[in-house]
Structure 1
């Protein structure tokens, strides 16, 4: 049973990385990372991002939440087991962190403080690919 669980975790970790790479060019990704889902900054960040789906949709933004051994996307109801996102984007083991990944797959913003929805949209709107989207 333990081997099956480890295999499941490995497959899930690989699929997360592949999905981010696969979505590169289609979506921007905001990863909200915390070591504890009761972290005040984490809860504030998630609250600030609620009810902004229209604004985020037009900016092609997906939101992922990452804990040390779990993750979930903005469309998931429950947490999925995987340490991949947390380990890859939080090597310094910050208690709270947000990471914005652009359409090209590069990190566009990384900070350990809460990011307002307005600042997030301004960062995205200032990106060259977003500027081209707005022109078209």
Structure 2
């Protein structure tokens, strides 16, 4: 078993301290990680050779071919919003569910499901639905 000692509470305290000082969450996480990584190396909690694997890990994540599709799906969501297809879908389903109590909520859910099926990804659906349904609500 690993012996962590006081490191996790100190890391949590360091994170809270950075956030209270007004640093953004991303920079606070990076600073706490680097600071306690260096402390772990200094106190021989782990080997510096473990840090040599980080560039390979980053490269493995960003070289994933599936990530190439994300900007195109996002672009598709913007196109759906610009051409008015998402708005027409929301308007039509709003007329269908208009007399029902909570009809707007039903319409938004139905249009979200349809756009999810059309676009194939959450990013494009969120862009299209956020821009179209937020003013209506």
**Which structure: greater helix fraction?**
2
Scaled by the length of structure 1, the TM-score of the pair is 0.30
Scaled by the length of structure 2, the TM-score of the pair is 0.30
